[in-house]
Structure 1
Amino acid sequence: MEKINKYVNEISFEEAYMKIDRSHIDYLIKGDLNSKYSINLKKICFLILSLFMPISMIISYTGASKNIETTTFSRTLAVTIAIIFILISLFSYLKSKKEFKNYGYKEYIYSSWKILFLSYICGSIGSVDSNYITNLITIAIYIPVCLFLYKSIENNKMKEYINSTFEKNYKINKILSLMFRVVGIVIILGMVLVQLYRINKSWIDKQMIEDSINGLGFNTVLLITLGALFMIIISLIPTYLSFKADLRIQNMLVLKYSKEFMESYGYYKEEWYGDN
């Protein structure tokens, strides 16, 4: 993020003014005025969405039913992680209220999807089975990898936006760009496969599919590698669907040159700061 701040600081007000007109700032502040539902209501809905899985974890493991095998350690770990997710969600919600109203909402959508995905991955962390240690280690590795990828993809997308919008030439990670595009392909293929399965599930021979896969001669290492790559790809679905690099850079520039933009476009303080 330090590099992104450096790149933004290198953009002059004149450059920013040429690319950010009043409609862009109005969108950051007010959003879509034709929307049926208020931004505050939609934020509350996403707050509930992001809290759903962590609260479910707490309910499941504090009153662990007989069909869930747990230990004191696994229950404590699961509840602790759930509480951390809840605190992150609440912090993100409160932080969004300090931003421009619509920009804060867009950022909170992104945060909510990430929390929902990561808490879903951690959902079974309190359940003990024969592979518990393996699952625990896998999750302990997977979550930091996801967080690293989120940050890396975000920075890469912001550099792409700066390059294309302000005619800069900052180095882009082509592997990350390709990975991001693959996510879109995976989403489309997933939707197609789900629909095909729904239409044809009555006559699909699952045993035949398993035999066909085994017949391809895939060994365990290859299957694990492909599985790991697939999990990395799907972890980026929240970023693909809801991260807005253009809004983040525009917000940074508008805040950096807030006085200049207010004077140039004739904003009143009440209109600029709004009411969150």
Structure 2
Amino acid sequence: MKQVDKIISTISFEEANQIIKFQDIYKIMSGNPNDKFAIVLKKKLILLVGLFLPLIAVIIYVQSNNDPSISTISKIIASFSELIIIALMLFFFLKTSAKFLEYYSYKNFCYMFGKLIYISYFCAGLGMDNGNYLTTIIPIFLCLVVFISLYYKIEKNIVMDEINKLFKREYKTSTLLTTMLKLSGVVVVVIIVGMQLYRLNKSWLKGFIENSDVLNTNATISDIVGIFIGIPLLMIITLIPTFFLFDANLYMKGKIIKQYSEEFRQEYDFKKEEWYGE
């Protein structure tokens, strides 16, 4: 988010010092003091969970060499994509930060893993082509480009909105993007409720679908519904990691503290060993 970083760089230390208090610095350094597990341990657990899906996908495609229904090109592309995701996960896990940014870096790590796990799910579909790899690979790659672009725009939008609130700026933000992010939280609730309703009414729903003339005979209507409802819904679902894991306030304050690290260290009388971890 280079544009956001440029905007943050225009905030003076005097302005920042009026907004950012000791509690903010302590949170960015250490997080919640009541946490039972150390940040390092939590990162290891998240790494194990995050690696599960891409590793399983790679293993499945390696073992499916003799499956004629999946083209070799698809399996190679899918496996390579998952290996890139694994490499990125390991990179973010091993990436270190100064002591004063420990919790801030951990939260960014969690958010990045959330996005990578979601993207990994889609990359796994690259190898499911039923013999025609282009019909699968092209739509999935287009989706991935849209997802990454959407993440960037949403993150930029909510951080700029946070800057407007705290520093009385008037940068333009998108109401549509803000609404989409809020809807992603609603979608989670709807999915959970829907799963429970499905469990309770599974037999009835199956019978309804099998006996429905509209669903069985009019494929065009189903396709239209899929395009105009399915695609926007997919984009909203894509934002679930952002809704739950991206803290715009923490991100912005962390960036500012990093920008004026020495000034804040002296302001609150931290020793260099405490601040930088050297």
TM-score (norm 2): 0.90
CA deviation map 1:239-274 (0-9, x unaligned): 111011111110111011111111111111121123
Deviation at 1:71? 2.8
User: In the alignment, is the contact (CA less than 8 A) between 2:71 and 2:131 conserved in 1?
Assistant: no
Structure 1 unaligned spans of 5+: none
Map residues 48-87 of structure 1 onto 2, 5 A cutoff: 48-64=48-64, 69-87=69-87
CA deviation map 1:78-122 (0-9, x unaligned): 221111111111112223x22521111111110111111111111
CA deviation map 1:162-217 (0-9, x unaligned): 0111111110011111111111111111122122223333x423231462863999
CA deviation map 1:20-53 (0-9, x unaligned): 1111111111112221111001001111122111
User: In the alignment, is the contact (CA less than 8 A) between 2:70 and 2:131 conserved in 1?
Assistant: no
CA deviation map 1:133-178 (0-9, x unaligned): 2221110100010000001000001001101111111100111111
Between 115-124 and 212-221, report the one with greater CA deviation: 212-221
Identity of aligned residues (%): 34
Deviation at 1:131? 5.5
Residue equivalent to 2:208: 208
Secondary structure at the counterpart of residue 273 of structure 2: helix
CA distance in 2, matches of 1:119, 1:186: 21
Secondary structure at the counterpart of residue 204 of structure 1: helix
Q: 1:212 to 1:116 in 2, by over 3 A?
A: farther
Q: Is 1:258 the equivalent of 2:261? A: yes
User: In the alignment, is the contact (CA less than 8 A) between 2:118 and 2:238 conserved in 1?
Assistant: yes
Structure 2 unaligned spans of 5+: none
Between 132-141 and 217-226, report the one with greater CA deviation: 217-226
User: In the alignment, is the contact (CA less than 8 A) between 2:129 and 2:136 conserved in 1?
Assistant: no
Q: Is 1:44 the equivalent of 2:47? A: no
Secondary structure at the counterpart of residue 124 of structure 1: helix
Aligned length: 273
Secondary structure at the counterpart of residue 188 of structure 1: helix
User: In the alignment, is the contact (CA less than 8 A) between 1:101 and 1:274 conserved in 2?
Assistant: no
Give the number of the structure whose residues are more often helix, by fraction: 2
Deviation at 1:125? 1.6
Between 220-229 and 142-151, report the one with greater CA deviation: 220-229
Residue equivalent to 1:235: 238
User: In the alignment, is the contact (CA less than 8 A) between 2:164 and 2:170 conserved in 1?
Assistant: yes
Between 157-166 and 125-134, report the one with greater CA deviation: 125-134
CA distance in 2, matches of 1:83, 1:219: 36
Residue equivalent to 2:156: 155
Residue equivalent to 1:199: 200
User: In the alignment, is the contact (CA less than 8 A) between 2:69 and 2:131 conserved in 1?
Assistant: no
Residue equivalent to 1:101: 102
TM-score (norm 1): 0.91
Deviation at 1:127? 2.9
CA distance in 1, matches of 2:57, 2:184: 28
User: In the alignment, is the contact (CA less than 8 A) between 1:68 and 1:127 conserved in 2?
Assistant: no
Paired AA for residue 112 in structure 1: F
RMSD: 2.2
Paired AA for residue 154 in structure 1: E
